[in-house]
Structure 1
Amino acid sequence: MGKEVSLTFRGFEKSPSEVVNLIGVEPSYIGTKGDPVKPGVKTLLRRSAVKFTVSFKEEVRLAEMIPAILEYVGGVNHMRKVSDVIKPEFIEVNLVLPVKYSEEQEGGSIDSKHLGALNAIGASLSFEFL
């Protein structure tokens, strides 16, 4: 798995397909409340979820990842409008950073304007270090 950033909506009353139509781009994951977590598993999803993902080449800097996902899903203003319509329980932006076996341990920063953009859409920020 390489570098990627995702934006996930969880816990909403509309159907996941309605959320996808509102966003207007292809999701990387759709889960409907009440469906099995995985095929053949008895555990059911407690919330509907739709996830949108952008993958990157290894040389892409951390600072470029949040702007890329926001652009992919239509920008901050579009996300605010969509969020007002679907009223998700939460929105999460997740950064996947494969550093365990990289040749160099990359540092990075996230510009305050991008943190402000996440705040404007009510998104939390999480990191996954592989």
Structure 2
Amino acid sequence: MSPNKIIKTDAEWRAQLGDFEFKVLREAETERPWTGELLEEKRAGIYRCRACGTELFRSDTKFDSHCGWPSFFQAENDAVTLLEDNTHGMVRVEARCAACDSHLGHVFPDAPQTPTGDRFCINSVSLTFDEGDADSDAGGAV
């Protein structure tokens, strides 16, 4: 186990997160499409894990995938762990914060218009946004 791994009890996470944040980040729920506060965010900056503050995505990797959730074509190095997800009768790849193991969303190989071909489909409620921390233009490929 990494020495930087953040381990908390459910009670500690519940005290830190709101009810819906807890359901998404700790119980892998999904926010409704087109409802997330960061879906239309176009400023330059850094997207961080709402639970632990780890830097996950830069604004220059965000793009409009028309799926209803913020989408990115690349995560920061080693910031996101990918796991097979067989829930709901589907086989998908789940994206989790590598530091605190919080659920972020899923990754799909369906974005040929991007440099990686991947679409990290991420719940807005799983993220916070810090404006101006990125070294890139606002919104990248949005």
Give the alignment's TM-score, normalised by structure 2.
Answer: 0.23
Query: TM-score under structure 1 normalisation?
Result: 0.25
Q: Which has the larger radius of gyration?
A: 1
